[in-house]
A = this chain, B = another copy of it.
Amino acid sequence: MAPFDLPEGDPFGPHNLPYGVFSLPGSEQRTVGVRLGDHVLDAGGAARALGSPHAALLTRPTLNPLLAAGRTTWSQVRSSLTEWVTDPSHHETLAPLLHPLSSVTLHLPFEVADYVDFYASEHHARNAGAIFRPDATDTLLPNWKHLPIGYHGRAGTVVVSGTDVVRPSGQRKAPTDPAPVFGPSTRLDIEAEVGFVVGVPSQQGRPVPLADFRDHVFGLCLLNDWSARDIQAWEYVPLGPFLAKSFATSVSAWVTPLEALDAARVSPPERTHPLLPYLDDTSTDPAGYDLRISVALNGHVISEPPFSTMYWTAAQQLAHMTVNGASLRTGDLYGSGTVSGPAEHQRGSLLELTWNGRDPLELPDGKRTYLEDGDVVTLSAWAPGPDGLRVGLGEVSGRVLAG
């Protein structure tokens, strides 16, 4: 099939156009690409061929220069790309610049500056509370409804979809063990998340208000926050998760610009507690996103978490993250936190899906509590787009190797 003749309703049609970084076989040269169906368009090549002023921005080994260019440029580039791929008069020019996805290598699309991970699903937080604090009177901690809880993760171990993940080793200690033992994690888990990618930096000492969210955040990707629950349980008091999370975080190879997701904007769940002014979004435009995530283990769908149920929005997370004056850099990445909906089949971690191993999943290839060596986890998602179309998000996939 000719690359421009996509099947009707293809979730990666010209209404989508996510950005990535690719290289051709036998070449070390990385450059910006845009996904169209099951092809990638060499965006810099297209810009040069068609005389665009943005060619230099798109002929780079990472998206960072485009991210840094700001919202006006983001719109101009997207508008040009949309015109190029939809106007048949350009197709002869562009045809040699379209490569089948199966023929290219996809790379980490941007250099990660700081990585922050949030904890924004009320259902996930309540499930975790019920599992780990079964005797507590409230499954939510007292601060949870007042601020989006978050922490910094390791930017240097963010990897692109398709990268194998080595099972981490570390210390664990069951309450009944006399001393900690060392070895490969026996409770390796996933967390299905959405990652937000910062484009425009901010100045140290200057908070970014809720209303400026779209001036700073370029787009989003799917994110799997691999987690070793046994390591986490022993190490996390009092300074939070460290080695339980820092061995790998996988992101999709495609960053979907927020502009492609306008039709997916929804109001977040009703706020049950009054919010301080810097977090109060009751009079702002809807800042939630209706993303329908699917979690597959070895090809079998085990969960379908709805992102629309997240209590805290990405705009609130950005406002919170900077309210103390912390600055943003181009390439900052922040994860939403595990996406879990209210229903059992909407839980975004094996911790919740198996209730910490008590209720194994029955899969065609056997029972699962936590991940086994060789397991492949794939997150995919789509969002409502214009004219009844779906906007596909790039999948994030990873295989567990023995540690």
Which chain A residues have a beta carbon within 8 Å of chain B's beta carbons? 113-114, 116, 119, 141, 143, 146-147, 149-157, 159, 166, 168-171, 173, 179-180, 182, 204-205, 207, 228, 231, 234-244, 246-248, 274, 276-278, 320-321, 323-329, 332, 401, 403
**Given known A151-B151, A276-B171, A329-B156, contact A240–B240 (CB-CB < 8 A):** yes
Q: Which of B204, B228, B332 is within 8 Å of A248, CB to CB?
A: B204
A sample of 19 inter-chain contacts (CB < 8 A) reads: A116-B242, A119-B239, A143-B180, A143-B235, A146-B173, A147-B171, A151-B151, A151-B239, A152-B153, A166-B325, A169-B325, A170-B324, A182-B277, A228-B324, A231-B324, A236-B240, A240-B241, A247-B325, A325-B403
Q: CA separation between A169 and B44, bound complex, in Å? A: 43
Contacts of A329 in B (CB 8 A): 156
Contact between A274 and B179, CB atoms less than 8 A apart: yes
Contact between A155 and B113, CB atoms less than 8 A apart: yes
| Contacts A116-B242, A141-B237, A156-B326 known; 6 new A-B pairs at CB < 8 A | A149-B235, A150-B242, A151-B152, A151-B241, A166-B204, A243-B323
Q: CA separation between A93 and B47, bound complex, in Å? A: 52
Q: CA separation between A173 and B273, bound complex, in Å? A: 15
Q: Give the most central of A151, A180, A228, A248: most B CB within 10 Å.
A: A151
A271 nearest CB across to chain B (Å): 14
Q: CA separation between A194 and B375, bound complex, in Å? A: 42
A186 nearest CB across to chain B (Å): 14
Contact between B113 and A150, CB atoms less than 8 A apart: no
Residue of B nearest to A241 (CB): B239
Contacts of A170 in B (CB 8 A): 323-324
Residue of B nearest to A151 (CB): B239
Contact between A326 and B247, CB atoms less than 8 A apart: yes
Contact between B113 and A182, CB atoms less than 8 A apart: no
Contact between A234 and B324, CB atoms less than 8 A apart: no
Contacts of A205 in B (CB 8 A): 166, 247, 401
A278 nearest CB across to chain B (Å): 7
Q: CA separation between A116 and B170, bound complex, in Å? A: 18
Q: CA separation between A36 and B403, bound complex, in Å? A: 48
Residue of B nearest to A207 (CB): B169
Residue of B nearest to A201 (CB): B156
Q: CA separation between A166 and B241, bound complex, in Å? A: 28
| 4 nearest A-B residue pairs (beta carbon) | A240-B240, A168-B324, A166-B205, A152-B152
Contacts of A169 in B (CB 8 A): 207, 323-325
A101 nearest CB across to chain B (Å): 25
Residue of B nearest to A143 (CB): B234
Contacts of A278 in B (CB 8 A): 182
Contacts of A234 in B (CB 8 A): 143, 147
A181 nearest CB across to chain B (Å): 8
Residue of B nearest to A132 (CB): B238
Q: CA separation between A327 and B155, bound complex, in Å? A: 10
Q: CA separation between A146 and B147, bound complex, in Å? A: 32
Q: CA separation between A80 and B324, bound complex, in Å? A: 45
Contacts of A166 in B (CB 8 A): 204-205, 325
Residue of B nearest to A233 (CB): B143
Residue of B nearest to A182 (CB): B276
Contact between B155 and A155, CB atoms less than 8 A apart: yes
Q: Which of B168, B235, B238, B248 is within 8 Å of A147, CB to CB?
A: B235
A334 nearest CB across to chain B (Å): 11
Contact between B239 and A150, CB atoms less than 8 A apart: yes
Contact between A151 and B243, CB atoms less than 8 A apart: no
Residue of B nearest to A157 (CB): B326
Q: CA separation between A86 and B320, bound complex, in Å? A: 53
A196 nearest CB across to chain B (Å): 16
